[in-house]
Every structure is written in C-alpha cells, then in structure tokens.
Structure 1
Amino acid sequence: MANQGAKKRKEENARHMARLRQIIIACNVIYVLLRMLVFHSSFTWKHWIGLIVTSLAYVIPYQQLAKMATPAYAEDGELLDGGFDMSTGGVCGYLHDVIYITCFVQVMSIVSGKFWYTYLVIPAFGAYQSFGFIKGFLPGGSEVRSPC
C-alpha cells in the first residue's frame, strides 16, 4: 500500500508521454506523406529546413518533459517518487504549449507557408511573461498606489 500515489503518478506519466509521442509521430507522418509525397513538386530546401526546425521544436521540450516525468527510486529499487505531475501549469505547461503549437504549425504549413508566423506566438508570450516579471522589480511596479 505504501507509495500508491507514486505508482499511480508513474503510470499516468508513462501514458501521458506515450500519448505525446504518438501525437508527434502522427504530425510528422502527416507532414512527410502529404508534403513530401503528394505535394512533391512544390517541395523545396525551405521545407527541409522547416522539417528540421519542427523536429528540434519537438525533441527539446519532449526530452525536458521526459526528464520531469522520470520516477525516482531508492538504492534498493523501491519507488520513491512517480515523477512530476504533468497536469500542472508553469514550465510543464509551457513545454506542452510548444509541442502543440509545433504540431499545428507543421501540419498547417502543408496548406500555406504563412502558418510559420504562428511560431511568433512563443517569443511574444515569453516577452509578455518577462515584462510582467521585470515590472515587479521596477519601483512602484507591483505596488498599488493610493490617490492620496
């Protein structure tokens, strides 16, 4: 009965990571089949670069999430921690957002190259979050001043 929560979290994380892996593979297969095979006449070197960029945009957040989901074991092999809760927000949520935005951009770029501009959402949101963080350090940034 001990560590039931850790065992449950470990199983949930394994299912979650498998689902993310399936989504990533599905998006790549759709892109390769449609863009490279069906629309091969319009496939250029820019599309190769796009495939490399989206692959990196999948790999980096996925590896970070995999590290977060890794369970911790004691030296005797007993499960201590089932890994990070993947349903929480914060950095975990941002990493999921990058993966989902990449899925959208990759699949929709088959239709039009203009969907690559959707990637600007990621640095724009980062700048917005940074501005809110930096504003807290400025004088009067986090205080509410009274009119008196």
Structure 2
Amino acid sequence: MAQKAAKTLAARNTARLNQTLTATIALHGLFWFLRGLIFRSSFTRKSALLYILFSGPQLFLNFQFERLGRPTYNADGAVKRSGEDLEAKGLTEYMWDVTYWTYGCLLAAATFGDRAWWLWSIVPIYSAYLAYTTFMGVRKGYTDAAGVPQPGAATSKRQAKMEKRGGQKVAYR
C-alpha cells in the first residue's frame, strides 16, 4: 500500500495518455485518408499547410502531455515518477480544450474542406475572453457587481461571530 496515491495517479495518467494517443492517431489518419483518397481533388499544398498550421499546436500539446504526464517505473515495476496530474485545473485544462477542439476542427476539415479550419479561430477568441475575465476579476478583487465578496473569500465562523459582535476589541493597559 506504499505510495497508493502515486500508483493511482500513474494508472490514471497512463490510461488517459493511451486514450489520447489512440484518438490522435485515429483522427489524423482519418483526415489523411479522407483528404488523400476520397477528396483527392481538393487536397492541395494550401490544404497541407493549413493542416500543419492548425494541427501543429495539438501535436505539440500531445508531446507535452507525454513528456510531463507519462509515469516512469523502476526495474522492479515500482512507480519511480507518477507524472504531473493531467486532470489539473488551469493551464492543463485549457490544453485539453485546445486538444479536443482541434479534434473537432480536424474532422470538420476532413469532411467539409479547408474552410472548416476557420473554426479553429475560436481558440484565440476564447483565450482572450479568459484573459479578460481573469484580469477583471483581479482588478475588482473577486467581487460581484454590487461589491459583495464572492463565496471563495468567505470568512470563518469564528471571524463572522467576531464581526457580528462589533469586531475585535483591543484592550490597552
């Protein structure tokens, strides 16, 4: 039972990375199959350039996931390093969003043509929206429109009682 959390994280990361690798190979293979064999007349250098330009970030993110999240094991099979948590919030979550959105754009471009790559423009727009809302949240001190602090900044029960009684009184001697 030693290192149970590390073993659990390693198993979860391995399963998720294997699933992602399978999906990536299948979707990129489907793209090349459809564009190379079935829609051959519409496959041009421009199509190849758009493919490289818009699927490149997803392939880079998959490489990063593999590098950071793939667990390593000792010779005896014990977990040496479980890898980073691939279900973490924040940047990792955004990287998964980019990966999944690229999958959708890849399928759309394979079936509908090069104009479907315009769907990928939603990613920078979404990034700008997230940056703006984060900046405004920090600027306002994480309060709502009326200036009331959000529940994340809630006070403890003891502190709430003290404030209800009139705050902490300082006695000078």
Scaled to the shorter chain, the TM-score interval is: 0.7 to 0.9
In the other structure, the counterpart of 2:124 is 123
Counterpart-to-counterpart distance in 2, 1:137 and 1:97? 23
Deviations 1:90-125 (A, max 9, x none): 211111111111111111112133321211111111
In the other structure, the counterpart of 1:4 is 4
Shift of 1:137: 4.6
Greater RCO, 1 or 2 (C-alpha within 8 Å, sep 6+): 1
Runs of 4 or more consecutive aligned structure 1 residues displaced over 6 Å after TM superposition? none
Deviations 1:29-82 (A, max 9, x none): 1111110111111211111112212441222211222233144789xx964652
Q: Is the 8 A contact 1:13 1:86 kept in 2?
A: yes
TM-score, scaled relative to structure 2: 0.71
**Is the alpha carbon distance of 1:132 and 1:72 closer, same or farther for their aligned partners in structure 2, counting shifts above 3 Å?**
farther
TM-score, scaled relative to structure 1: 0.81
Question: 2:100 is matched by which residue type in structure 1?
Answer: Y
Q: Is the 8 A contact 1:68 1:83 kept in 2?
A: yes
Counterpart-to-counterpart distance in 2, 1:31 and 1:73? 35
From the CA coordinates, give the structure whose radius of gyration is larger: 2
Counting aligned pairs with the same residue, the percent is 25
In the other structure, the counterpart of 1:88 is 88
- Give the aligned CA root-mean-square deviation in angstroms: 2.5
Question: Aligned residues, how many?
Answer: 143
